[in-house]
């Protein structure tokens, strides 16, 4: 069976939503697949801020962007996404069109360098704060690895606690029948208030 990965669904949603010239954030750059998508869409007239705590992840993302001549569009930030609102300049706050999170660990990398509940929740709140009205935040959640279940439970509680008039939330489940499959949360900010 040809199952669609939730990361592909995130890409589809972002492709429909994000426009050339806009501001976007990749909160977990990793190997740069999401960063590249964002950069290709916003193009030279836009800007992407891409965060990762690991130098090797930013190097991989940088190489991928260079291969596609997209490195000028992206500001690679070796900072935790919990400093998102500090790093993304204030002039963009309230103008960010898309923030992508892809939680967990770097595929092929150090599996102890995972995203964690406390910093993820802080970053998520900051992401929602700097989104524009109509902005989209995607979060790919991985409950399967050690610590992932706890982080994902916290993310779900956070989502549950949002004002559901202010945020429209969709959940997309994986078609994989494995234990604890990843899933996608898509959060759309309805107003700037």
Ligand X SMILES: C[S@@+](CC[C@H](N)C(=O)[O-])C[C@H]1O[C@@H](n2cnc3c(N)ncnc32)[C@H](O)[C@@H]1O
Q: Does 143 bind ligand X (CB under 6 A)?
A: no
Q: Does 151 bind ligand X (CB under 6 A)?
A: no
Please identify which residue in 9, 42, 47, 57 interacts with ligand X, judged by CB under 6 A: 57
Residue closest to 137 by CA, chosen among 180, 190, 86 = 190
Residue closest to 129 by CA, chosen among 172, 86, 75, 74 = 86
- Sign of the dihedral through C-alpha 115, 117, 123, 128: positive
Q: Does 54 bind ligand X (CB under 6 A)?
A: yes
Nearer to ligand X, 119 or 190 (CB): 119
Residue 105 beta carbon to ligand X: minimum distance, rounded to whole angstroms = 6
Site string for ligand X, 96-135 (x = CB under 6 A): ------x-xxx------x-x---x----------------
Q: Are 43 and 21 in contact (CB under 8 A)?
A: yes
Question: Which of these ranges, 15-23, 76-84, 149-157, 163-171, lies near ligand X under the rule CB under 6 A?
Answer: 76-84
Q: Are 131 and 124 in contact (CB under 8 A)?
A: no
Q: Let me know if 84 is exposed, middle or buried by CB neighbors in 10 A (0-12, 13-18, 19+).
A: buried
Site string for ligand X, 157-176 (x = CB under 6 A): --------------------
């Amino acid at each position: 069976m040809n199952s669609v990965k939730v990361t592909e669904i995130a890409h589809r949603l972002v492709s429909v939503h994000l426009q050339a010239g806009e501001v976007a954030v990749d909160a977990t750059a990793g190997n740069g697949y999401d960063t590249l998508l964002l950069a290709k869409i916003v193009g030279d007239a836009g800007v992407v801020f891409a965060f990762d705590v690991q130098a090797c992840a930013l190097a991989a993302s940088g190489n991928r962007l260079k291969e596609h001549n997209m490195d000028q569009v992206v500001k690679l930030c070796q900072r935790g996404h919990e400093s998102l609102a500090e790093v993304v300049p204030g002039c963009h706050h309230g103008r960010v069109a898309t923030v992508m999170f892809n939680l967990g660990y770097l595929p092929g990398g150090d599996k102890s360098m995972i995203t964690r509940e406390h910093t993820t929740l802080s970053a998520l709140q900051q992401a929602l704060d700097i989104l524009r009205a109509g902005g989209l935040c995607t979060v790919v959640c991985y409950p399967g690895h050690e610590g992932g279940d706890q982080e994902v439970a916290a993310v779900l509680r956070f989502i549950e606690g949002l004002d559901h008039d202010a945020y429209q939330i969709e959940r997309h489940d994986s078609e994989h029948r494995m234990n604890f499959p990843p899933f996608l949360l898509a959060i759309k900010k309805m107003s700037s208030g």
